[in-house]
Amino acid sequence: MPKGDKSAYTDKQKRKAEHIEEGYEARGVSETEAERRAWATVNKDSGGGNKSGSGRGKPDTNAAAKKGGKAGGKAAAARPAAARSASAKKAAATRKRQEHHAT
């Protein structure tokens, strides 16, 4: 099988990769980088191509999806409440200022 051949992947894996790729592109990631990241995520979740033999491989673990929320929360939780509150107030002021300039 040539490098980059996706024939060993199920239709579900291909749809999942396409959806993830669209999300990256919407956030401004280049097309090639978005595709690379999308397939890396599918491989992490499902252990690679599942389209072969009896049983069709292993079930998805969704490991990458579970990891996402944890990474951001730890840093914020470690900060004191006063610091979080100050950040929130500053962000609200910035949003209000930018909203005013956008119109």
Cβ atoms 17, 11 nearer than 8 A: no
Please check whether residues 42 and 20 belong to one and the same domain.
yes
Residue position matching structure tokens 């930018």:
98
Question: Where residue 47 falls among pLDDT bands split at 50, 70, 90?
Answer: confident
Judge if 52 and 77 occupy the same domain.
no
Q: Are residues 83 and 43 in the same domain?
A: no
Interval 60-94: pLDDT, tens: 888 887 776 666 677 788 889 999 999 999 999 99
Q: What integer pLDDT is reported at residue 88 of this predicted model?
A: 92
Q: Is the pTM of this model over 0.75?
A: no
Rg (CA), the chain: 20
Q: What is the mean pLDDT of residues 27-47?
A: 93
Q: How far apart are CA 93 and CA 73, in angstroms?
A: 22
Q: What proportion of the chain, given as a percentage, has pLDDT over 90?
A: 48
User: Percentage of residues in the chain with pLDDT exceeding 70?
Assistant: 88
**In whole angstroms, what separates CA 74 from the centre of its chain?**
18
Handedness of CA 86, 89, 95, 98 (dihedral sign): negative
> In this structure, are 39 and 80 located in the same domain?
no
